[in-house]
Amino acid sequence: MRKDFSKGIFDGLPIGLGYFSVSIGFGILAVHQNISAFFAWLISATNLTSAGQAAGVGVIAAGGTLIEMALTQLIINLRYSLMALSLTQKADRNFSTLKRIFLSFGITDEIYAVAISQKEKISASYMAGLIVLPFLGWTSGTLLGALSSKILPEMISANMGILLYGMFIAIVIPPAKKCKPIRFAALVAAGISILFHFALPFISTGFAIILSALFASVLSAFRYPIHKEETK
């Protein structure tokens, strides 16, 4: 059990480092929208999500309603429901309800990707360890970005926006290189997402992401059904 926790910490290290640098970008973004460093930190500590936080800060800056905030978060973060659903298939027998209530907080794209790629079933201790460094990295990076944004030249802070997407590329490319069906799913999703952006610009980004991803996954599932042993 202690071994699982340490392994989780170790596996979480690269995510934590990545989150640290990416969340500097979020801290800068939040301060640009007149949110103080403390509240920027609070958003990161209670949300632990990249795209949802960026969109949420946009809603706050635009003076949107709370309903709008709830819907934006629901749509952008709905993918976590699907990831959580897929993680339930990976959780070991001792993963109790109470542990699930606590640890579900830490389901992010990257934590999910690492957890799901484990060969064995995952324990609650492993999951807890896996969350620690990404949480610390995400919150401390946000604070650093927020506090330093007044000092950093505009050119540097503008370019930090690409960090997040660089991280996404790093997650998708290696498996896509090895596995043709994953390559197919990723390319179809990207293609439809581009189509939404240019042909149907009135559809919100969050909704366009969900539709593109669902369409691409369903199409891939029809074309390349996976057999049980491969997904575990």
Partner 1 sequence: MSLILYIAVMAGVTYLVRMIPFTLFRKEIKSVFLQSVLFYLPYAVLSAMTVPAIFYSTGNLGSALIGTAVALAVAFFNKPLIVVALAAALSALSFDFFL
Select the residue interacting with partner 1 from 8, 15, 122, 149 (CB under 8 A): 15
Binding letters toward partner 1, positions 27-66, x by CB under 8 A: --------x---x--xx--xxxx-xxx--x--xx--x--x
124 touches partner 1 (CB under 8 A): no
Select the residue interacting with partner 1 from 9, 58, 109, 148 (CB under 8 A): 109
Select the residue interacting with partner 1 from 10, 32, 94, 194 (CB under 8 A): 194
Which residue type is seen at 24?
I
8: alpha, beta or left, given left = phi > 0 and alpha = psi -120 to 50? alpha
Nearest approach, Cβ of residue 5 and partner 1 (Å): 19
Contact 74, 49 (CB under 8 A): no
List the interface residues with partner 1, window 73-92 (CB under 8 A).
73-74, 77-89
- Residue 226: name the closest of 73, 89, 71, 61 by CA: 89
Nearest approach, Cβ of residue 225 and partner 1 (Å): 5
Q: Which is nearer to partner 1, 4 or 87 (CB)?
A: 87
Q: Which is nearer to partner 1, 1 or 97 (CB)?
A: 97
Instruction: At 208, list the tokens.
Output: 């366009």
Which residue type is seen at 161?
G
Which residue type is seen at 209?
I
Q: How many residues does the chain have?
A: 232
Distance from C-alpha of 73 to C-alpha of 70, rounded to nearest angstrom = 5
132 touches partner 1 (CB under 8 A): no
